[in-house]
Copies of this chain bind each other. A is one copy, B any other.
Amino acid sequence: MELVAQVLGGDRRALARLISRVENRQNAAHAVLSALYPHTGRAHVVGVTGPPGTGKSTLVNEMAKALRARKRTVGVVAVDPTSPFSGGALLGDRVRMRDLAGDPGVFIRSMATRGSLGGLAKTTSDVVKVLDAAGFEIVLVETVGVGQAEVDVARTAHTTIVIEAPGLGDEVQAMKAGLMEIADILVVNKADRPGAANTARALEITLELGRSHRKEERLWEPPILKTVALTGMGVDKVLDAVADHYGYLQQSDQWTRRERERARSDLLRMLEQELVCQLVERAGEKRIEAWVERIAAREADVYTAVRELIAAK
């Protein structure tokens, strides 16, 4: 628990160590997260998501720099696809983020996405809590925004930014439609490219379509902003929109509602994990494997196995 005290005291090296512990789900991780939890709840968690090729990492980098210029402290959690050959993130965020290195007001963590289904969401949520407890005012969570797990990660943020870009293929366009429902702020990045106006217009039409299908009026209408992340163009307007959305969340009941949603999904996920752990321990690996064999051999089906394993406790 010395590590916890150090992290709460602002020790950045202790923070890095503690996050590794959480990421690797070491034994003491639960105790550490319990101890940190009362210190959470202050950070504004901002999800940044969008299809591949939209320049998310660059935009996140620029947002972090601009937030530092505004004297806000920033944590960044980048959820990257993992290469089995390189054993880590390939996207080079850490290289690109080099201009922020040495600044104690910013902390960047690239996360692997390996592991079991659902592991990603759980670990990311835990790392965000650690950064929140460590006192970072804004935590940016960057995800690829295509897969279901990745979208779920974005959804647990207070504010979700969905990034688009002109000139992506049909398949990518289709994905974007699925993302729009979770967007609080829409950004058309690479706005200096041909087709940017069309992309923005298409987003507007989609938003209008959504509006006409809705019965109640929404109190927050997602703005559509244009950026060129490579030059920093428009990034300040994105931060203004993030601040506006924060104000909206606080004034409405939305902040509380989103906190509750996050608590609910954390609770259910932990329950799942713990209940299965306990059952596997009670039943023993051997008995589980015997059922697996029988299921694979079509001598039993999975529903029978579940029923009998639960009944046997």
Contact = CB atoms under 8 A, between A and B. Distances in A.
Given A150-B147, A268-B276, A275-B275, A303 B81 contact: no
Interface in A92-140: 113, 117-121
6 contacts: A34-B301, A83-B177, A90-B174, A91-B174, A146-B147, A275-B275
B149 A259 contact: no
A180 interface: yes
Nearest to A36: B301
A178 interface: yes
Contacts of A269: 117
A310 B181 contact: no
A71 interface: no
Given A270-B303, A296-B259, A86 B146 contact: no
A62 interface: no
A53 B171 contact: yes
A33 B303 contact: yes
A1 B260 CA distance: 41
A171 B52 contact: yes
A298 B41 contact: yes
A304 interface: yes
Nearest to A79: B148
B146 A310 contact: no
B117 A177 contact: no
Given A174-B91, A267-B292, A148 B146 contact: no
Interface string A273-313: 11110110000000010011101101001111110011000
Q: Is the interface of A mostly helix, strand, loop or mixed?
A: helix
Contacts of A52: 51-52, 146, 169, 171-172, 175
Contacts of A84: 177-178, 180-181, 210
A2 to B, nearest CB: 20
A266 interface: yes
B177 A86 contact: yes
A81 B178 contact: yes
The residue among A53, A272, A288 with the most chain B CB atoms within 10 A of its own CB is A272
A178 B83 contact: yes
B117 A148 contact: yes
B266 A295 contact: yes
